[in-house]
A and B are shown apart, each in its own frame.
Chain A
Amino acid sequence: MRLITHNMLSCNIKGVTNGFPLRIEAGNVIEKEVDFNPDFIRHMFAKLEWKALVEGARSMGYAELPEDSPDAAVLESDESFLKKLHHALLELHLEEGALVCPKTGRKFPVNKGIPNMLLHEDEV
């Protein structure tokens, strides 16, 4: 599971209103190289929740991202920033671990890189 996915997910148990962001319990994190596509990164940047991304990256062992979300101007000019963002979003993989709901503590397991977001019968 990559950080780009983590940035989209929240806990949707019945009754939980603010289940985002999910805390990452990193069991096994690996790095896999992905071709750099700057247009795609720029397009995604506008949709990200920055704080959640920075915290998520930290839980996976990557602390190079700036705390505050940079302005859009940085995207055009600074390629090294885009590369860092690319690395954080696409190249860090959580193979085994869990995503934990901030409100209820419910764990959504991640196995073989695939998060299991299915709810149990009493959570629907």
Chain B
Amino acid sequence: MWFLCVFYHRLLDFRKPEVEALAELFGEEIAENESLQWRLPVHHHNDTPFHFVQLSSEEIARNIAKRSILVKGMYELWGEGTCYEELKDSILSYSDSRKLQFLTSDSTFRISVETFGKGLTFDEQKDRIQSLTYIPFEGRVNLKNPDHNFFLMEMIESEENNGLQPILQRRIFFGREVGFADRKLLPTFQLKSRTYLGPTAMDAEMAFLMANQAKATSGKLVYDPFVGTGSILVSAAQFGAMTMGADIDIRVVRDGRGPDCNVWSNFKQYGLPMPVALLRMDNNLPPWRSGLKEIFDAIICDPPYGVRAGGRKSGGRKILRGTVDPYTVPDDKRTDHIPSTGAYSLVECVHDLLHLAARMLVMKGRLVFFFPVLRDETGGEVKFPEHPCFKLVAVSEQILSSRYSRFLLTMVKVEPYSEEIKEAARLMHLEFRENHLKWLEDGNIHSSVFKPIDSSQIHTDPKAFKDPKPKYRGKYV
């Protein structure tokens, strides 16, 4: 059945992948290399908040809307048109057998009017509702808690709608609400009221999106190898998953900022079950026992890009460069020794992450992570990390500044971990060690993001600096 899916007008690239992941989670049968079927309303382009999607049942639509962060509501469309006359014709021609069961005299209903692009006065809203008298509503009106909720939605034409390119003609939709979003979720979890934060704590909305992409749910084990303050795990735990995290920085993971201000207290703040385990370890040299594999249902993380927080791995700067030999710590200092760590390039970090995921994820398990990309370099296609065990199923861009974006990648494990893969990873690990300096220089995002603007650029024609994406795209759109 086709449903009208109305999105919040934010994070445009993230909307459809979230619905696809949730549809799979709630039991929609999707064939191997296919995805859900989507359709645009007449005269609308892809950035519109209104999309039609085909799902096999109302229950799936309801579940998706309830858990989704970007879906405002799912509706059974009763009619649409460019003006109220067309709308009336459309509604009247919609089959009575579908309509009448929701209009019975023993039911209660409410009609709400929503517009996108312009506010309407109370009188204007009332007029529009009155114009629907041709629909034989027999039940009573209940504004607080009706059995059936109807929505009259108008997308008004204008020059620019909140930054969208102008639409050619207005369109009006009338539908019965089938599912709606949980609006209490984000205000409860927003970072500004969180006890323990760090500089790169993942924003609550994005953390929930990541947890949805990973299909986190009760009975699953979710792992974050760069846990930090636990912001991503909190969202996974809210959806019922068991969580586990590791970090190389022991101060963040174990100590926090005090006994009531640490990773544990973040979970306690929301009454969520504590993580199953928190560890201090180095992803470059992980302490997993050999033979351990296929244990995590999902790995969700935000690896360090090297811009605001750099990655670290065991070794110590001078040791890794070869200027100093590995030294032995005297016995009496061993217990409190904090091992030195050295720079961990993004390339090596992502390689280790993919290798970890290839080994530790169950088959069909999901790896969800952010991958930063410099914007002005890419004239054409962006090249994302690849691995023989994984299939890339979703890519969503979030523009962070005019110089760089990050892409949320969702990969599904489709091939099992094999000896060849283990061997290839071991060789790559050695390669990174031998050529430590070279890997640090390549793909260094930090210097590109923070380099001052070349003064000669200021004098050139400003139009010459062409943004690959339209101007309105910012961090939240």
A residues touching B (Cβ–Cβ < 8 Å)?
1-2, 4-5, 8-12, 19-21, 32, 34-35, 37, 39-40, 43-44, 47, 49, 90, 107, 109, 111-122, 124
Contact = CB atoms under 8 A, between A and B. Distances in A.
B278 A124 contact: no
A47 B292 contact: yes
Contact of B315 (A4, A21, A34, A124): A124
Contacts of B328: 120-122
Contacts of B316: 121
Contact of B219 (A19, A21, A37, A109): A37
Contact of A11 (B250, B278, B287, B340): B287
5 contacts: A5-B279, A8-B295, A12-B285, A44-B295, A112-B254
Nearest to B288: A8
Q: Tell me whether chain A's interface is mostly helix, strand or loop, or mixed.
A: loop
- Give the size range of B's interface with the partner: 35 or more
Contact of A2 (B276, B295, B326): B276
Nearest to B340: A121
A121 B287 contact: no
Contact of B339 (A39, A115, A121): A121
Given A12-B285, A40-B221, A114 B314 contact: no
Nearest to B337: A120
B47 interface: no
A43 B219 contact: yes
Find the residue from A47, A49, A118 having the highest chain B CB count within 10 A.
Answer: A118
Find the residue from A4, A5, A120 having the highest chain B CB count within 10 A.
Answer: A120
B242 interface: yes
Contacts of A40: 219-221, 242
A2 B277 contact: yes
Given A112-B254, A119-B339, A37 B242 contact: yes
Find the residue from B279, B315, B319 having the highest chain A CB count within 10 A.
Answer: B279
B379 interface: no
B254 A114 contact: yes
